Amino acid sequence: MSGLIGKKVGMTSIFDENGKNIPCTVIEAGPCVVTQVRTEEVDGYNALQLGFDDKADKRANKAETGHFKKAGTSPKKKVVEFQGFEGEFKLGDTVGVDLFTEGEFVDVVGTSKGKGFQGVVKRHGFGGVGQSTHGQHNRLRAPGSIGAASYPARVFKGLKMAGRMGGERVTVQNLRVLKVVPEKNLLVVKGAVPGHKNSYVTIQRWE
């Protein structure tokens, strides 16, 4: 499962050959630098560690500075490990958006937008209970009963209730690559991907 690290630029829409308007997301994918090579002999598995987006030297600690210095590159803000790359790679090599081809399907992993503390209607899609008449007051968006009293006399773990929403790792599978723009390191995929603008995402392709 090879892939790249990218940054979500935003959403737009394009027209296909039939004139259909397709919503899509633009991702700045790479270029990524190979910062570590995992091998079967040393690590027990084969993988590549890629770094993306330069970090100021003063923001990197000594361990990070030494690690990236071995690869002959500047410190990076985002580092992700990928397995499944074909071919020989060495420290300092660059992997670009030309890894992908138009028409193939990829998975995009990101962190969803944080929504803060939300009620059950927004967080879990509850429909509300009761009617808005017969003397009822302020109960339309309430969760209803959360358990019996005498037995089990407690609230079960995992019960859908109000709480913090978003800010979670989300994977969107099988997004079709609509366009690859190598000169600008841009990747256009069909549909939406998790996260806010300028948030980091990983684009994974299955061999």
Please tell me the predicted confidence (pLDDT) of residue 207.
66
Please tell me the predicted confidence (pLDDT) of residue 12.
94
- pLDDT tens-digit profile of 191-207? 999 999 999 999 998 76
HEC secondary structure over the chain:
CEEEEEEEEEEEEEECCCCCEEEEEEEEECCEEEEEEECHHHHCCCEEEEEEEECCHHHCCHHHHHHHHHCCCCCEEEEEEECCCCCCCCCCCEECHHHCCCCCEEEEEEECCCCEEECHHHHHCCCCCCCCCCCCCCCCCCCCCCCCCCCCCCCCCCCCCCEEECCCEEEEEEEEEEEEEHHHCEEEEECCCCCCCCCEEEEEECC
> For 2-119+169-205, which CATH superfamily applies?
Translation factors (2.40.30.10)
- pLDDT tens-digit profile of 37-50? 888 888 898 888 99
- pLDDT tens-digit profile of 144-193? 889 999 999 999 999 999 999 999 999 999 999 999 998 999 999 999 99
Locate the domains of the chain by residue range. 2-119+169-205, 120-165
